[in-house]
Amino acid sequence: MKYNKILIEIHHGLGDVVQIIPLINNLRKNFTEAKISVIVASSIHAEILDCTGLVDTYYFLNLRNMKFNEIIKFIRQIRRENYDIGILSPISNRRLGAILLYILGCKNRVGEVSKADKRLLIKNNITMDGDNSLHKVDRNLNLLKPLDITIYDSKPFMNINKGNEENAKNKLDIFDKKDKLIGICIGTNPVEQKKGFNRIPYEAKKWEIENYMELIERLTNDFNIILLGGKKEEQEIKEYEEKLKDNKNVINYINKTTIMESAALINECDLVIGGDTGMLHIADALGKYTLTIFGPTDPKIVGPYSEKSNNITLNIDCQYCYGTDKLFECNNRKCLNDITVEQIYNKAIEILN
């Protein structure tokens, strides 16, 4: 069947957006003339997808910040397009997501929807059971199976434009080009714990800042380092700022670059180190070697996807509790706190050699 207008829903995090790129890529290769539109959470996510050249139109959906009249405008705008097919991200709320695609007027709808939810959608649904043990990239690609199309490639990819590339090179001019460059992303997004009507941020995936500082000190004996992060990380690193300024092999770009500027800097790196965060997925999509520090999340499901991906994770009894109540009951985070600087340093040296 030929689809002329395709709508994809992925209004989630940065890493989730990167991991749906292979699905979009295969749709584009099978339906070369189709209009492909994507529902994302913010303009940052649209900028990431723009680096692929695959998407024609973006719609922005952030229910927490949208007023009622904005939601109505959003629905009307999409319904006017009369999309042939809507594809629901496997990590979206199945019931609400299925209803959303129905309200948006998609003639056919694809998603991991349970039998109970099928009744909500009346007809024209292509549904399947989800497999939580699959990597998110593979789980996304599974949504294409009912369409009976060819899968050409399964890897996320991005391309940095010339302007951002030249800007990044200029920012790194002070470094000796002979030395290898390591990017370190010290932040991770907190997990939200729901308590009544409140959402409490919980730093479930964070390797402590003291560990990063010790790692940086050791690595700068042989390599150049750039530091990346946002406002939260800027506060965390304040007490170390003077020490970092004195180190000629470190440039601190924390909260000094946009996401796309950070991506362009990452594109110049030989290795990128960090926790389970979207910037490591961007590095992976740019073809960089990555070293990701995993705690409660499972790298086989959410880790960077390519063969250049490397992970450090501990084999403990309570491993990979993300998505369960145990995550918030934990009072020692052994899965992260017991990962040593020595382990990360040795793995980094192994990769770079």
- 78-87 pLDDT, tens per residue? 999 999 999 9
- The pLDDT of residue 178 is 74
- The pLDDT of residue 326 is 87
Global pTM value? 0.93
Question: Structure tokens of 190?
Answer: 């907190």
For residues 216 and 240, the answer to whether their CB atoms sit within 8 Å is no
Confidence at 122, pLDDT banded by 50, 70, 90: very low
Amino acid identity, residue 55? V
Q: Which residues contact 164 (CB under 8 A, 6 or more apart)?
A: 260, 261, 263, 264
The stretch 9-26 carries a mean pLDDT of 96
Long-range CB pairs of 39-46 (<8 Å, 24+ gap) are 39/7, 39/8, 39/9, 39/10, 39/11, 40/10, 40/11, 41/11, 41/12, 41/13, 44/14, 44/259, 45/10, 45/11, 45/14, 45/17
Mean pLDDT score of the chain: 91
| Neighbour-count burial of 319, counting CB atoms closer than 10 A to its CB (0-12 exposed, 13-18 middle, 19+ buried) | middle
For residues 90 and 139, the answer to whether their CB atoms sit within 8 Å is yes
Question: Is pLDDT larger for residue 303 or for residue 327?
Answer: 303
Give Cα separations from 264 to 21, 172, 228, 230, 267 (angstroms): 18, 11, 12, 16, 5
For residues 19 and 95, the answer to whether their CB atoms sit within 8 Å is no
Amino acid identity, residue 143? L
Residue 155: which of 307, 46, 269 has the closest Cα?
307
User: Collapsing DSSP states into helix, strand and coil, what is residue 208?
Assistant: coil
Task: Report how far residue 208's alpha carbon sits from residue 312's, in angstroms, rounded to the nearest whole number.
Answer: 15
Give Cα separations from 309 to 15, 135, 301 (angstroms): 14, 13, 13
**Could you identify the residue written with the tokens 């209803």?**
99
Of 99-108, 174-183, 269-278, 305-314, the one with minimum mean pLDDT is 174-183
Instruction: Assess whether pLDDT exceeds 80 at residue 123.
Output: no
